[in-house]
Amino acid sequence: MDKEKKILYSGMQATNTLTLGNYLGALKNWVKMHEEYECFFGVMDLHSLTVRQEPAEFRKNARSLYALYVAAGLDPEQNCVYYQSHVPTHAQLAWILNCFTYMGELSRMTQFKDKSQKHADNVNAGLFTYPVLMAADILLYQADVVPVGADQKQHLEICRDIAERFNAIYGDVFTIPEPYMGNTGARIMSLQDPDKKMSKSDENPNAAVMLLDDRDTIIRKFKRAVTDSDTAVRYDEEAKPGVSNLMTIYSCVTGKTMADIESEFAGKGYGDFKMAVGEAVADEMAPIQSRYKELMDDKTYIDGRIKENDEKAYYFSNKTLRKVHKKVGLTELIK
């Protein structure tokens, strides 16, 4: 581990496949982070259990997510890319941190309120204590920075509160993580409702572009994207949210500025614009999908990288857990 580099931690849940929003909002921007940071990226399968999963499908999705990480450019030999559930320190530290987290703090989490409404028949304790497991994920690796979207800021704040509370009692055990302030990626909205974030759980199949959608499907979804009754391709989030979202996507995959895009489509209709966005996205996805297929067919390579990185994650996280055990007075394991 490079002691001169700060540590960065992030991960995604192992449910369904990733959307274009996951890719442009996070994954695409993670790829070059290893140059500046020591990076840990988790396949967050324990978090996924707050919603009932079909076991065989769940295992397939977790492996698919790992392969997509690598296919998108996260080199598992330069980054620690691992399975959360393979590293028992996550659950062990989460229990201890539960004992330093207050019910009132957890009940204020907006994501808990939102998910409780969506899954009213399964409002489980794991959903309530989800932010504590997330805090354990981050604090185990002494992460200096965590890339967070707007919907995760509250979780990082409670993580910092828990760490500061623990440190106030036992000394400087945990690094207090800061939000990553670099290029955190764009916030990509639904193609059918640009007031909502693009989501892999959206009931409307045309609302989200999936990373594994074929070329024709990608282009068709963009053709059906909601715009407005105007005809000008102009960036204005308030007056033209649908068009602005498409411009953001086009900018992310082509590197063009909003002024460039407005100039490119001056005097052209939305039909030409939507087709161009769809083709640009399909072109960006093609090499990722090709690499993904190779990886899913190469069981030996993927299994080897998972085993290697699981062991690395356990080694570093266990150093923190042993320190925590000693501080709180737990008896040391006799070997």
Known catalytic residues? 115, 197, 200
Length of the chain, please? 335
Tokens coding 139: 């604090």
Specify whether the CB–CB gap between 246 and 218 falls below 8 A. no
Tokens coding 164: 């500061």
Identity of residue 187: R
Using CA atoms of 134, 136, 142, 144 in order, give the dihedral in degrees to the nearest 10: 20
Query: How many C-beta neighbours within 10 Å does residue 333 have?
Result: 7
Specify whether the CB–CB gap between 53 and 216 falls below 8 A. no
Residue 236 makes CB contacts below 8 A (sequence gap 6+) with 243, 244
Q: SS3 of 39, please?
A: strand
What's the per-residue H, E or C state across 149-163? CHHHHHHHHHHHHHH
- Cα(251)–Cα(256) distance, integer angstroms: 5
Tokens coding 28: 């695409």
Name 260's bridge partners.
none
Query: How many C-beta neighbours within 10 Å does residue 61 have?
Result: 20
Q: Reading across the β-sheet that carries 178-179, which strands appear in turn?
A: 80-83, 37-44, 6-13, 145-146, 178-179
